[in-house]
Structures are given as structure tokens and as C-alpha cells.
Amino acid sequence: MTFGEWQQLSPEAAAREVRRRAEAHLSAAQRRAALAILLDEPALTAGFAAAPAGSPLRGVPYLLKDLFDVAGMPTFAGSSFLPEVRPKPVGDSQFVRELRAAGAVLAGKTHLFEFAWGLTGENAHYGDCEHPRFPGRTSGGSSSGSAAAVAADIVPFAIGTDTGGSTRIPAAFCGIYGYRGAPRDAWVSDAVPLAPRFDAVGWFTRSASDMRSALAALVGIRVGERAPRGCYLDMPGLDPEVATACAAAATDLAPAADAATRSELLDKFAPSAEIYGVLSGTEAWKIHKKWADRYRGRYGPLVQDRLDRARAISQAQVAAVEPSQAALTLAWRRFFLGYDFLVMAASPFPALAKADCTPANRLRMLGLTAPASLGGLPVLSIPVALPSGMSTGLQVIVNNAQSPVIPWALGSNRS
């Protein structure tokens, strides 16, 4: 169902439909893995009834990644202990307040990779969140429950975050649209942080038109006076079917990068996974060091391993990657002097089986997503179908959230 179709329902019918879809479209185990909280029918009905008349997202139900506070609800951030060490929420986060003002109706909260510190849907505490159409394969993460809920058509809209790819990877794996905003935005300032330098709000929709509606309501859309100029960067290391599908899909958006541009970007992007690992790990350690020893047995094994690695990052390691980070930032600045956007693959492969959620494949994913994260850039994710029936995606990377490239890439004013 689209935004418009949900908006045609009465509050009572919409509330029943959210509950019905959650029970019908996900197994009991996957409801536990994907949904942290699903409001009951009376609370949902009240929420739909209270949506302001005439608001742009009036009556559109959404699910919220459990990094954002909602009054009366705990915030676990995919962990087993966060409410024990963090004050109980006394009010809604700023983004939740703005969503309510826009008319969107909170249906509940979604689970995530613990503390948002991963790109798969794995979670040792609540169960692994799987692709709704391919059981045994991950939804992607860390915004796993939000992506799975939209892909399963439980709600048409769900909120995530993106630090190193946490909307882009699940959007690609689940075959839906995703958006990553700019870091240090007020919307993410009161969410549970992973690495504040890179954390950004994001969201998912099933269709381009719904993504455009969400962007118009929340970010604002500017239409350019000319066709934007961009190029496609064919990154190394993609699975063959992904490389072929992404190159073909990109032709609707931009030509391939010229040799000089390609050489410059590939050179500066090459160390991005390493740079991101060091810089984000240092920031994440600052968040977790006060809990790391006391709650050592309460972290899941994947996050515990990342925590131990982050603890060991030295100032010498940080200093060693800073020149590469500065060079990458400069490369982005130079690129945007001549271009309006860059198109890249969003994932090097389709949704992974559990056994393939390895450190090596994590680095392959970060090799594609970390360049935009390190540049602090907004990204639109567009799904790309694969011959296997699975999916990947394209990243459309821009230099500001209100770039007219985004509505253009969604099909508006583009021949």
C-alpha cells in the first residue's frame, strides 16, 4: 500500500490493517527479530485520529528504529541493557515530534543490529532479522527491522539511521528505496549515538513516489533549472551479476566517469574502509568505554569483538589515517566543482546468507558505503533488480540534502 492508499483509510481501519499486516507478513520469530514494540489497536487508532488535518503525511503509519526516544517506551538500541544505564525517556526525540507534526503516525519501534554497529541484520538478543522474501538471508543492517517492515509491506515508511551504510545496505538487500541525510543534523542529535561524526537519520519507502513525498514533507524539494550533471563510478570488487545490473541501471542516470575522474576517485576511495574503521571505532569507544567493562557479558559477541578492537585503536593509528581522510574530503570537493552527483553501487552482492556475514564481506560493503560517510554526504538509494530475483542498489550521492538531483533521480522532471 502506498502513502495515498493508507491516507484513504479511517483511523479504525488503518489501525486494524497495521496489526493484520504485521501478523500476516512476518512469522512469529521474525516479528520478534524485527519489531521491538508494535502499538495495540486502540493506541494506533488514537494516533491516526490525532494526525493533523491537511498535514503532508497525515495518516501515513511508520515504524521507528529503536535509537530514538518516545515518551513511555524504553529505548534499547538493539541491546540487552541500555535502559539500565541511560535515563528513562521523558519526552519524544525531536525527529519524532517533527514526524508527528507532519502527520505521520507512529506504529511502533524496530530492532536493529546491536547499538547500530553492523551492516547485517544479526542480533544475539532478539534474533537475526531476515529478508522477508528470502528466509535465511539477512535484511541488511543496522536498520534491519525498519527495512524488513517496509519490504514486507507492513508499513509504507520506516525510520532508520546511517553511519557507515545502515540505510543503504538494507535498502539494497531488500529492494526498496532508502535515504541517508547529512550527519550532525538536529534530527539525530538526541538519538542513541554510534559515531556522532558520521551518524545520520535515514528512512525507507517501497516506491519512488512515496520517497519523494517523504522528502518533500521532511526535507523540502528544490527543482533545478537544468539537467544535473553526474557520472557513474564502476567500483571494483562487485559480484559479476551486480556489476552488470548496476552499470545497466546507471545508464538511466549518468554516463560512466571519464578516465581522469575514475582514477582520482578510485585512488582516494581505496582506503575508505580502513579510515572509517579507525575513525568511527574511536568515536564508538568514547560512547561505550563507561559501560565496556561493567557490562562485558551483556554485549553480543559481534559487538563485543568490535568494542575490543575499538578499545585498542591508538592515537598513532588515528594520525596515520588522517592524511587519507583529508585527501578523500578534498577529492569530494573537487568532484562537486564539476558534477552535481555521483552514482555508485550500494552493495557488492545481494542479501547474504548467515554464513557469509563475515568480516571480509563487511569490508567489501564498507568499501562502497564509507566514501560518502567519510564525506558527510546525503545519499539516495535506488533499488536494482538482479536476474536471481534478489536485489542490489545504486547510491546517488549529492552534496546537500536539498539537492535538486534527488527528485530528478526519483523520476521527476527526468526524460
Radius of gyration of the chain measured on its C-alpha atoms: 20
Give the span between the Cα atoms of 348 and 393, in whole angstroms.
9
Q: Where are the beta strands (DSSP E) in 207-338?
A: 230-232
Q: Where are the beta strands (DSSP E) in 213-265?
A: 230-232
Tell me if residue 183 falls in helix, strand or coil: coil
Q: How many CB atoms lie within 10 A of CB 36?
A: 23
- The full DSSP string for 87-119 is PPP-S--HHHHHHHHTT-EEEEEE--SGGG--S
Give the span between the Cα atoms of 398 and 91, in whole angstroms.
33
User: What type of residue is 73?
Assistant: M
Give the span between the Cα atoms of 265 and 257, in whole angstroms.
10
The DSSP code for 339 is -
Q: Which helix (H) or strand (E) holds 36?
A: strand 35-38
Let me know if 166 is a catalytic residue. yes
Among residues 146, 166, 280, 373, the one annotated as catalytic is: 166
Among residues 65, 144, 268, 391, the one annotated as catalytic is: 65
Let me know if 88 is a catalytic residue. no
Let me know if 373 is a catalytic residue. no
Give the CA angle between residues 337, 405, 201 to the nearest 5°: 100
Q: Torsions phi, psi of 219, nearest 5? A: -110, -35
Among residues 79, 93, 139, 142, the one annotated as catalytic is: 142
User: What type of residue is 384?
Assistant: V
Residues tagged active-site: 65, 142, 166
